[in-house]
Amino acid sequence: MQVQLKVNGKAVTVEAAPHTLLVSALRDQLKLTGTHVGCDTAQCGACTVLMNGKAVKSCNMLLAQAADTHIETIEGLAAADGTMHPMQAAFKECHGLQCGFCTTGMVMSALDLCTRQPNANETEVREALEGNLCRCTGYQNIVKAVLQGAADMKA
């Protein structure tokens, strides 16, 4: 089957079997490997992307379910000149990552939160990231990064 969608602002057509997961199409066919597969059960959040601006776990969604939507991956955040998105920069500046495996999902979930609640407080950030697991760091610097990223996005 052929599925048409927009990925990072570009119209694409993906040909795949009906059982193909969105994460597989992104990684294997479109070569957007920033979206990670961590658990295959939608528990860890490493596969989080934005679909029409809302965070979704792409390992738990068929490609066909994404037809005619706009998908944004971590690769679509930086400016054309390579300048990081304010949320990406905040994760770097605040040491909100260690190995980096979960970071892309954290950043995408944080962007969803900042769109819905631009003035989110620490408790709201922690609640919004409940579906994203990190095995390396304490969450304090991740929360700090999200709050900093939100402030920088408003500036």
Domains of the chain, start order: 2-75 (3.10.20.30), 86-154 (1.10.150.120)
Q: In this structure, what DSSP letter does residue 65 have?
A: G
CA distance 141 to 125: 12
Pairing of strands 54-57, 48-51: antiparallel
Give whole-number Cα distances, 29 to 13, 17, 26, 73, 76, in Å.
10, 12, 6, 14, 16
Q: Quick one: pLDDT band at residue 137, thresholds 50, 70, 90?
A: confident
Helix (H) or strand (E) holding 128: helix 122-128
CA distance 21 to 33: 14
The dihedral sign for the CA sequence 117, 120, 123, 126: positive
The reported pLDDT for the residue numbered 138 is 74
The dihedral sign for the CA sequence 40, 74, 135, 128: negative
First to last CA, the chain: 44
Q: Which residue has the tokens 């579906």?
A: 131
Taking residues 38-52, what's their average pLDDT? 92
58-68 pLDDT, tens per residue? 999 999 999 99
Whether 120 shows a pLDDT value over 90: the answer reads: yes
Give whole-number Cα distances, 73 to 10, 33, 53, 116, 151, in Å.
12, 9, 11, 18, 21
